């Protein structure tokens, strides 16, 4: 089985969280909450999201 990290068609903003959730086989809401916590408490979440947005291929 060859999984690839790709943006999801189930988008809220850019499909990054949905793509990560598909790759990890978890609910996209969980990834969105974790990413929001990273943004609020660490600030690095914004940079990580932007990098993923630019580098992840479309589904």
pLDDT one-digit tens code per residue, 5-58: 898 887 888 889 999 999 999 999 999 999 899 889 888 888 888 899 999 998
**4 in any annotated domain:** no
Residue from 44, 2, 37 nearest 23 by CA? 2
Q: Does a structural domain hold residue 30?
A: yes
Q: Provide the domain limits for residue 28.
A: 13-43
In a domain, 52, yes or no: no
Please report the pLDDT score of residue 33 as a whole number.
93
Q: Flag whether 37 is in a domain.
A: yes
Structure tokens at 51: 């990098």
User: What is the per-residue pLDDT for 1?
Assistant: 66
Does 54 reside within a domain? Answer: no
Stated pTM of the model: 0.82
- Residue 31 falls inside a structural domain: yes
The domain tally of the chain equals 1
Is 17 contained in some domain?
yes
């Amino acid at each position: 089985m060859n999984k690839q990290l790709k943006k999801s068609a189930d988008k809220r903003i850019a499909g990054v969280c949905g793509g990560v959730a598909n790759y990890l086989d978890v609910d996209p809401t969980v990834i969105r909450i974790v990413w929001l916590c990273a943004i609020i408490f660490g600030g690095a979440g914004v940079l990580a999201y932007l990098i993923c947005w630019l580098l992840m291929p479309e589904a």
